[in-house]
Structure 1
Amino acid sequence: MAPSHALRCCKRALNWIPVLFINLVVGWSYYAYVVELCVCEYTDFMGRVDLSYLVVFHVFFTMFVWAYWKTICSTPASPSKAFGLPRAEKELYEREEQAERQQEILKKVARNLPVYTRTAGGAIRYCDICQVVKPDRCHHCSTCEMCVLKMDHHCPWVNNCVGFSNYKFFVLFLAYASLYCVVICATVIQYFIKFWTKQLPDTHAKFHILFLFFVAAMFFISILSLLSYHLWLVGKNRTTIEAFRAPVFANGPDKSGFSLGFGRNVAEVFGDEAKYWMFPVVSNLGDGHSFVTRLVHIDREQANCVLQQNGKRLVFLFFFIDLICFHSS
């Protein structure tokens, strides 16, 4: 028992190494830009510090660090108790040895839940580890040892699961990291060229400035490709998992099963109010447990049950969405 606990603690400590690496690189970049470039180098040759460089740099640095740590510190959202099996059904499920009978128990419970996705074999998605019926788009993370709502992926660079609770923060982190690198490259390149062509004398700042440009350019290229991919996913209302393995509905798999149109897809992640889009604050829509889907994928029996629970407002919403899907197909 003790060795297992010790190994788990060691694993958790090692998981913070990528985060430590990123913070060391960012900390060094701050020192190289502010101290070596703006204070020392620029002052030596221009006689004063260019405040415009420092203001622009600190704006993007602040937004980048803010979004990064919001992504790290946001606790992954997990299914509520409503998705757990009631005591009677749980005892029946654990005693039952036949998979068919277990599925009957799960189907009975799932009829009262907004769950429309299935396994590849058409069964109710159930986590035997967390002992919950998985909400749509929810997956179990072996690293976090929990089911995560609208799980996108587990990111080692933030040592956290990226999902419903922090996906917006993650996208903003990538965006501001890219802009941070752009600001560095755009303002450092003139000094990079002068040092490279020997137009400036060798100083202690030369190494920092040359290396800063290379590092910023390298990170920009790698982050930009990842940012572009996730912006594409936002526009399609897909997660990384769904992009590689389409969610399965009652009528089969469909990668676009949760797509509601570009504008609504963006609002699902960033919210209805554009004034909050650029800030790493909570503004996404929904609760992470239920998502609007195209009605063609919903089991009739379950749809009727959900309509009875939510009343006329949901009936109108489903009718409107179904009408849009009919005209677009």
Structure 2
Amino acid sequence: MGLSSCMRNPVVVFCLQLFRWVPVVFISVVVLWSYYAYVFELCFFSVQSYIEKGAVAEEFVVAFYALLKILFRSAVYLIPYHLIVILFMWSYWKTIFSTVYTAPPLFSISSSDVTRLRQGNLEATSGFIAELTNSLPVRCRNKDGGLRYCEKCQIIKPDRAHHCSICGICLLKMDHHCPWVNTCVHFGNYKFFILFLGYAWIMCLFIALTDLKYFVAFWTDEGRMQKKSQFHIMFLFFVACMFFFSVSSLFSYHLWLTSKNRTTLESFRAPIFSHGPDKEGFNLGTTRNFREIFGDSPFYWLIPVFSSRGDGVSFPLARDQTAAYHFP
């Protein structure tokens, strides 16, 4: 049995699809554990123990004062923490389960036209595709100067659309396939993906900063925490710092892409127009680029609700793209 036939086996396909959810399960488990470690081990047990043993509560007034400190410190930690966690998880699940945007039926080619394309020579095929797409809003070209056609999906590719070999479909304004969300980051969920990275970055920073005092107490061996809490607090700090630095580079990179109105694929391979390759072809300026993804209303910028401009098929261009170019 060849590799290609093996990959088409229903059992193999099912196992691969199941395996692709492992990173999502891993992230979910880490978040659940960090929630327990932060809320219960840090805020309820460690903060209480740290304050109670720091204030020798021999009198009622001192004990009452210690209780107020516990409640205040817990509120200062827990209220912003829960707000961040809610926004993080909301953005994460919206990235995974949001609507998948594919090419509309207008870009599809009939089976008879597909047969004609496969039987014709290169020159006839290029002419036929050009004839089919006279009425389509397509500006991008392939490396030969022809219109981009996907044989697997049997469609004329809209501008910035690409075929994902893992998802098996062409997606509008595809950025990349992300294993951590088990889906393609594209027009329909790119805003959610950036918010997911942003809130992950904020959450890790918040946990690390608020955990630092108790992490130091663990190493100075002040004896104010239970052994179980010490374990959770130590690893919570390490995990928060590790994810903070790993997310920082990815988040910064996508903020830069947003400022340029460029996808990850376009940063490696410039889109080709009638005047030739141009990485700045969709760059409208930082402010307009930001609004292309996050929308015009500031109310929706920081919440994972779809507010991107456009339909994912046609995009405003940075300049006139009709200049002549000699394709190789």
Which category describes the TM-score, using the shorter chain as reference length?
0.7 to 0.9
Match of 2:181 among 149, 154, 158: 158
Q: Which residue number corresponds to residue 119 of structure 1?
A: 142
Q: Which residue number corresponds to residue 11 of structure 1?
A: 16
Structure 1 letter corresponding to 2:13: R
SS in 2 for 1:70: helix
SS in 1 for 2:312: coil
Within-5 A mapping of 1:105-254 = 105-201=128-224, 203-254=227-278
Structure 1 letter corresponding to 2:189: N
Contact residue 116 and residue 299 of structure 1 kept, 8 A: no
Within-5 A mapping of 1:314-329 = none
Is it true that 1:298 corresponds to 2:322 in the alignment? Answer: yes
Q: Which residue number corresponds to residue 88 of structure 2?
A: 64
| C-alpha separation in 2, matches of 1:100 and 1:74 | 40
Gaps of 5+ in 2: 52-66
SS in 2 for 1:189: helix
1:295: how far off?
A: 4.3
Contact residue 281 and residue 319 of structure 2 kept, 8 A: no
1:174: how far off?
A: 0.2
TM (normalized to structure 1)?
0.87
Structure 2 letter corresponding to 1:259: N
| C-alpha separation in 1, matches of 2:16 and 2:85 | 30
1:249: how far off?
A: 0.6
SS in 2 for 1:204: helix
Within-5 A mapping of 1:42-57 = 42-46=47-51, 47=67, 48-49=70-71, 50-57=74-81
1:91: how far off?
A: 4.1
Q: Which residue number corresponds to residue 62 of structure 2?
A: none
| C-alpha separation in 2, matches of 1:162 and 1:39 | 38
| C-alpha separation in 2, matches of 1:75 and 1:14 | 22
Structure 2 letter corresponding to 1:37: L
| C-alpha separation in 2, matches of 1:51 and 1:170 | 29
Match of 2:33 among 28, 40, 50: 28
* Matched positions, count: 299
SS in 2 for 1:296: coil
1:86: how far off?
A: 4.6
Contact residue 76 and residue 162 of structure 1 kept, 8 A: no
1:143: how far off?
A: 0.5
Moved more, 49-58 or 208-217: 49-58
Structure 1 letter corresponding to 2:268: F
1:27: how far off?
A: 0.5
Structure 2 letter corresponding to 1:224: S
1:286: how far off?
A: 0.4
Gaps of 5+ in 1: 301-329
| C-alpha separation in 1, matches of 2:228 and 2:136 | 64
| C-alpha separation in 2, matches of 1:9 and 1:203 | 43
Larger radius of gyration: 2
1:200: how far off?
A: 3.2
Structure 1 letter corresponding to 2:218: F
Taking only aligned residues, the RMSD between alpha carbons, in angstroms, comes to: 1.6
- CA offsets per residue over residues 132-190 of structure 1, 9 Å max, x none? 00001000001100001000000000001000000000000000000001110111000
| C-alpha separation in 2, matches of 1:246 and 1:175 | 26
Moved more, 83-92 or 271-280: 83-92
| C-alpha separation in 2, matches of 1:44 and 1:21 | 31
Contact residue 117 and residue 248 of structure 1 kept, 8 A: yes
| C-alpha separation in 1, matches of 2:323 and 2:169 | 28
1:99: how far off?
A: 1.4
Deviation beyond 3 Å, 4+ runs, structure 1? 86-91
TM (normalized to structure 2)?
0.88
| C-alpha separation in 1, matches of 2:268 and 2:37 | 40
Contact residue 270 and residue 278 of structure 2 kept, 8 A: yes
